[in-house]
Chain A
Amino acid sequence: MSVATGTITLRFFGALRQAIGQREVGLPWAGATVEEVLRRFADESSEEVRSFIFDRQGRRWRSLLLLLNEEPVEDSQATRVADGDILALLLPLAGG
């Protein structure tokens, strides 16, 4: 397990931004995998925020699009975040 340290930024869009009440948060979790970041963030968040990311069985919704430094995350369990990285969580927008 990596022991890297440093701060990453989670950036939110759409309904998730509204639920969290801010555009982004800084977290000292550099070195973790994207999947670990999401789990940890969900565990420390309200039930409402959590429900945007995971279902009741703890499986991640497929309606969440993840971008690390504006590039698609292809494997959230293999991709690790580094100091200064920005992980964006996007949901589709229904409105028209």
Chain B
Amino acid sequence: MADFSFTEEQIERYSRHIILPEVGGEGQRKLLRARVLVVGAGGLGSPVALYLAAAGVGAIGMVDSDTVELSNLQRQVLHTTADLGVSKALSAKATMEAINPDCVVTPHQLRLTAQNVLEVIAGYDLVVDGSDNFPTRYLVNDACVIAGKPLSHAGILRFEGQVTTILPGKGPCYRCLYPEPPPPGLVPSCQQAGVLGATAGVMGTIQSTEVLKLILGVGEPLVGRLLLYDGLEMAFRIVRVLRQPDCPVCGEHPTITAPIDYEEFCGVTPMGAHGLAGAAAARKEVVA
């Protein structure tokens, strides 16, 4: 794509970026040309969306099928009291474009499924997982690995967070860390266990930083590293995580070669891959 000139307003708007050696005019152009999909306009998606929009990421997709509820506003800083009852994807678009008219937001008012996920992510360079449930998290991971899209993953609960960056083929994916989701009902959601609103802010802001670094091509992303955050201790630990040769989606002999819905593998067998392989095989049979 040909270089384009900044307007006077853009030079002023992005001046604090442009003077950074790691960004500069060329980096700012990269940001303006970048296309990022944010899955979830909730606790994590809010800071991610705000910082990416403010940074001048030119095209951002916001996936969310819910509407804004009062209990969201304690942490979902994209939305305001006036947005109650409004689609989160549309509310996000309004907030983000008000911050920065250079940012064009595409609302995706849908729930990602095995049927639509590849089509939705196809229009983007990078994906951010800010969803609030395991079915979507595994689906987004699998789809990004299959499509070769970089993925920023984070999860939160109470005062804790985990964040990592997945570059398919170059480092471990979410399934390398956690091959299967916990059995349904065992691990609570934020709705069940609560979450300090600011936990979402800390983790989402780290995700934004990772995404901006990947677009700019600077620094060291959290690839092969899992950052554990404990807000009560105020401790950040970074642990090494490994790619698993037997990973069902990014391993040497993948059994998941197309997106699968959680319902197909929620009857998982612990310490045995046949639950997943069976689901994948069943799907292949259906497709065939």
Contacts and interface: CB of A to CB of B under 8 A. Distances in A.
Interface of A: 13-15, 17-18, 23, 51-52, 54-55, 57, 59-63, 65, 67, 70-72, 74, 88, 90-96
B156 A95 contact: yes
Nearest to A57: B270
A96 B131 contact: yes
11 contacts: A57-B270, A59-B270, A59-B271, A61-B182, A62-B268, A67-B239, A92-B162, A93-B187, A94-B155, A95-B156, A96-B43
B17 interface: no
A95 B44 CA distance: 9
B178 A96 contact: no
Nearest to A65: B177
B271 to A, nearest CB: 4
Most buried by A among B186, B240, B272: B186
Contacts of B259: none
Interface residues of B, number: 49
Interface of B: 40, 42-45, 129-134, 137, 154-158, 160-162, 174, 177-183, 186-190, 193, 195, 200, 228, 230, 233, 237, 239-242, 268-272
A91 B162 CA distance: 10
B154 to A, nearest CB: 7
A57 B43 CA distance: 37
A94 B178 contact: no
Contacts of B174: 92
A96 B132 contact: yes
